[in-house]
Amino acid sequence: MREGGTAADALVAMVAVDTVLVPGTSTLAGTMSVVFHEAETKCTYALNAGLNSVLDDTDPYDHMAHRETGRAVLVPGTIAGLEALWERFGRLPWADLWQPAIHFAHEGFPLYDLYWGNMQRRRDVLLRFPEGRAVFASTGDLPERGCLFRQPLLAQTLTRLAQEGASYAYRGEWANLLTAAVQRLGGKMRLEDLARYEVRWEEPTVGSYLDYEIRTCAAPHYGGPALLVALNIAEALDLHMRPPRWTSARSLYDEIHVGKWAMNAAALQIDPTTAMKKARQDFTRLLSKGSAREVAGQIRAGGEQGPDHPLVCGSHHVAAVDAFGNMVTATHTIEADSWGDTGLFVGGIALNSTAFQLMEARPHPGDRITEPLSCYIVLRDGRPLLAAGAIGSGLLAANLQNMVNIFGHGLDWDVSIAKPRWGYFAFDISTFSLGEAIQIEDFDPMLLTEVERLGQPLDRQDRRELGHAHADVGFWTAVGYDNATGGRSAVTDPRLMGLALAD
């Protein structure tokens, strides 16, 4: 951006670097959702670079039976999405935007604790096939903690992408290697699946919370619409006028139920371009203030909502504001456990294993799947204030609580993001089984006991005993303009590594 680039240019560079430096929770063979606000026109655009189902694979999918096969791999969208965003809103040369990622892949980086620990945890996946061993065990075993970790195969692939663009991945050599790898492991993806892939430019889904307008991704990326549903219910319950969750058991209890209702809103999991009229009507009604008032009444009356479907999303969120006033927010992800479950790598890039989403809502063959990706821009009186998003299975919980904190209770961003949060259901990623209990951070123990007395089970377990650093309460990131000073501001969640810069 200092060289005259736009927020779109920055996004391409950030996503490319993420896939090199972070431990397997994103991949260029994954999925991406983008919301871009253009300052000059004051228009906001939603870009769906999601995953397509495979044309020829129409058999039922079973996660436990097929997770390690080629049937787990869906048609990726990230690279096509990056190119489409750059073509429309970028200014700098495409090849230049890939140079930082190429540098870190070729020259390497010190293998930090989180990356090294994830490699150890996913050892069997990484070393299952020769292609994975070539990336992670070129010397015969996984590298040692703190050593310089280089990825020369990935550097070569990134260089080709910088030179040839998305055509290399969808019609070129990499496309041939990808389909061959998937078919070798029992998948049915063909070159046609890649060649016919197209990104989707869509109108953002628009809602409001108090006096603020929210523009978010459109279905079939339903995480943004789910946030709008949750905020409508929170507003109907007057949570912004009540004591905050960290001081009131009733507020905490009600807010958890707001999140549970939104997480379980199956009517949001549609593709409006192919859905039947009734499904589109149900979707629209669920986003209405009237529907929120009905749900708020049920919550007040003690209506319960238990676990239903998993909102799994191991991901990355990036956002930027440029000197021209353009604003971008995006989630990009492998949408599975780190490096996926198949052990397939093509040119140093891990393949997604996200076909489990087909078990929830299966599209027509070759169409987009529904995904819980969530990124959004908050405006007031037409002026964009904040570009934000969250990742992890607790993404909706993180988005909801920070929005209520900042716009309901008036907290500064850095204060909001540090407040204790509730998160996702107790969840076993290996079996996709959900418990009734909600993961929780370190609130006052007496307050948590009162929440349990009200009827909400809580998972108070110290996650460090399980090898985790934290409960899954999602991870929130935001950039934009400080309400008090009007200057640029940025925050990233202290629960996870990240970088926030406001220049």
> What is the C-alpha separation between 311 and 37, in angstroms, rounded?
27
> What is the C-alpha separation between 212 and 384, in angstroms, rounded?
10
Residue 1 covered by a domain: no
Element at 44 (helix H, strand E): strand 43-49
End-to-end, the C-alpha distance of the chain in Å comes to 10
Q: Which of 185-194, 340-349, 419-428 has the weakest average pLDDT?
A: 419-428
Phi, psi of 481 (to 5 degrees): -125, 130
Tell me whether residue 206 is exposed, middle or buried, using C-beta atoms within 10 angstroms of its C-beta: 0 to 12, 13 to 18, 19 or more.
middle
> What is the C-alpha separation between 344 and 338, in angstroms, rounded?
12
Asked whether residue 220 falls in the same domain as residue 317, the answer is: no
Asked whether residue 127 falls in the same domain as residue 239, the answer is: no
Last residue of a domain, one of 303, 333, 359: 359
Phi, psi of 205 (to 5 degrees): -80, 130
Asked whether residue 48 falls in the same domain as residue 173, the answer is: yes
Element at 200 (helix H, strand E): strand 200-202
Residue 65 covered by a domain: yes
Tell me whether residue 82 is exposed, middle or buried, using C-beta atoms within 10 angstroms of its C-beta: 0 to 12, 13 to 18, 19 or more.
buried
- Is the distance from CB of 7 to CB of 327 less than 8 angstroms? yes
Write out the two tokens for 224.
């943004």
- Work out the average pLDDT over 360-365: 89
How many domains would you assign to the chain? Answer: 2
> What is the C-alpha separation between 383 and 307, in angstroms, rounded?
38
Asked whether residue 475 falls in the same domain as residue 438, the answer is: yes
Other CB atoms within a 10 A radius of the CB of residue 372 amount to 27
Full domain range(s) for residue 428? 204-311+375-492
Asked whether residue 30 falls in the same domain as residue 90, the answer is: yes
Residue 21 covered by a domain: yes
Last residue of a domain, one of 300, 334, 359: 359
User: 124-134: per-residue pLDDT in tens?
Assistant: 999 999 999 99
Asked whether residue 302 falls in the same domain as residue 335, the answer is: no
Asked whether residue 334 falls in the same domain as residue 389, the answer is: no
Residues in the chain, overall count:
503
Asked whether residue 12 falls in the same domain as residue 145, the answer is: yes
Amino acid 95: pLDDT: 98
Percent of the chain, pLDDT > 90?
83
- Is the distance from CB of 354 to CB of 51 less than 8 angstroms? yes
Asked whether residue 420 falls in the same domain as residue 287, the answer is: yes
Asked whether residue 194 falls in the same domain as residue 222, the answer is: no
CA angle in degrees (0–180, nearest 5) for 80-82-135 = 80
Residue 358 has pLDDT above 50, yes or no: yes
Q: Which residue has the tokens 């980086």?
A: 109
Q: How far is CA 492 from CA 175, 411, 501, in A?
A: 35, 15, 9
Residue 370 covered by a domain: no
**Which residues sit opposite 177 in a β-bridge?**
none
> What is the C-alpha separation between 96 and 112, in angstroms, rounded?
27
Other CB atoms within a 10 A radius of the CB of residue 132 amount to 21
Asked whether residue 170 falls in the same domain as residue 160, the answer is: yes
| 466: confidence class by pLDDT, cuts 50, 70, 90 | very low
Other CB atoms within a 10 A radius of the CB of residue 154 amount to 23
Last residue of a domain, one of 325, 359, 393: 359
Residue 442 has pLDDT above 70, yes or no: yes
Look up the CATH number of the domain holding residue 307: 1.10.246.130
User: 196-243: per-residue pLDDT in tens?
Assistant: 999 999 999 999 999 999 999 999 999 999 999 999 999 999 999 999
Residue 265 covered by a domain: yes
Residue 318 covered by a domain: yes
Residue 501 covered by a domain: no
Residue 461 covered by a domain: yes
Asked whether residue 134 falls in the same domain as residue 257, the answer is: no
